[in-house]
């Protein structure tokens, strides 16, 4: 029993969230707020969550008819330092960025510090959205818009599947995918009118 989708080739029951749709909702929110040069700080390419969140970002950008520019994508490692390094690379490549979707709240915090040091105001100049809706999302200034994962519900589903596996005689692989919610806070406010 796993929490999170396993890598290809592993056959196991798991509970995960819809990482692709969570990323899509974040980017759609940024587009609805008037943002047009939307970058992403993606997670590691060897983790299903990192791959799915990047895929969701790309789908939403394409559906909005926005530019698909590899310079708007930088990889991080789900840490604050990784987010800061990625944000530094993004600003060097595309100083015209007006929004960033970070695939974790910690990477968003790292991005926030780099944006502040560069004199880019959040959300006036650059809107920012994270992922996880972790406690750090409400401790930043401004507070961070973030994709909420239903951690408690995930735990209940894992327990339910484990009980079924122990009590049952079948060895059917179960896959449970839970929905995410976008929690809107000040970091992604609409672009001000000129």
With respect to residue 13, please indicate whether it lies within any of the assigned structural domains. no
Position 122 scores a pLDDT of: 97
Question: What are the structure tokens assigned to 180, written together?
Answer: 């995410």
Would 176 be classed as within a structural domain?
Answer: no
pLDDT tens digit string along 144-176?
999 999 988 988 888 888 887 788 766 777 888
Query: Is residue 177 one of the residues assigned to a domain?
Result: no
Query: Residue 63 is part of which domain span?
Result: 20-148+183-188
pLDDT at residue 12 greater than cutoff 90: no
Residue 45's alpha-carbon distances to 32, 55, 77, 121, 186, in angstroms, are: 28, 11, 9, 30, 29
Does residue 37 lie within any of the structural domains? yes
- If one counts the domains in the chain, the total is 1
For 100-121, write each residue's pLDDT tens digit: 999 999 999 999 999 999 999 9
**Whether 176 contacts 16, CB under 8 Å:** yes
Residue 165 in domain = no
Confirm whether 109 is domain-assigned.
yes
Residue 44 within a domain: yes
User: What pLDDT, on the 0 to 100 scale, is given for residue 170?
Assistant: 62
- Flag whether 7 is in a domain: no
Categorize the per-residue pLDDT at 72 as very low, low, confident or very high, splitting at 50, 70 and 90: very high
Q: Give the pLDDT score at 9.
A: 67
Q: If you average pLDDT over every residue of the chain, what do you get?
A: 93
Q: Give the CATH number of the domain where residue 141 resides.
A: 3.40.50.2300
- The pTM for the full model equals 0.92
Give the per-residue pLDDT at 137: 97
Residue, of 7 and 182, whose pLDDT is higher: 182
């Amino acid at each position: 029993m796993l929490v999170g989708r396993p890598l290809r080739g592993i056959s196991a029951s798991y509970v995960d969230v819809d990482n692709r749709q969570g990323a899509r909702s974040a980017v759609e929110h940024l587009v609805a707020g008037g943002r047009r040069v939307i970058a992403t700080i993606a997670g590691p390419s060897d983790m299903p969550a990192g791959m799915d969140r990047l895929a969701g970002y790309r789908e939403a950008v394409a559906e909005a008819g926005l530019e698909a520019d590899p310079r708007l994508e930088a990889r991080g490692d789900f840490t604050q330092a990784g987010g800061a390094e990625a944000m530094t690379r993004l600003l060097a490549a595309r100083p015209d960025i007006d929004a960033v979707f970070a695939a974790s709240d910690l990477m968003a915090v790292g991005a926030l510090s780099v944006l502040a040091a560069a004199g880019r105001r959040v959300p006036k100049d650059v809107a920012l959205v994270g992922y996880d809706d972790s406690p750090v999302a409400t401790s930043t200034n401004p507070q961070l818009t973030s994709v909420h994962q239903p951690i408690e519900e995930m735990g209940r589903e894992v327990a339910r599947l484990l009980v079924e596996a122990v009590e049952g005689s079948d060895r059917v692989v179960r896959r449970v995918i839970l929905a995410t919610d976008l929690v809107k806070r000040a970091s992604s406010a609409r672009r001000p009118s000129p």
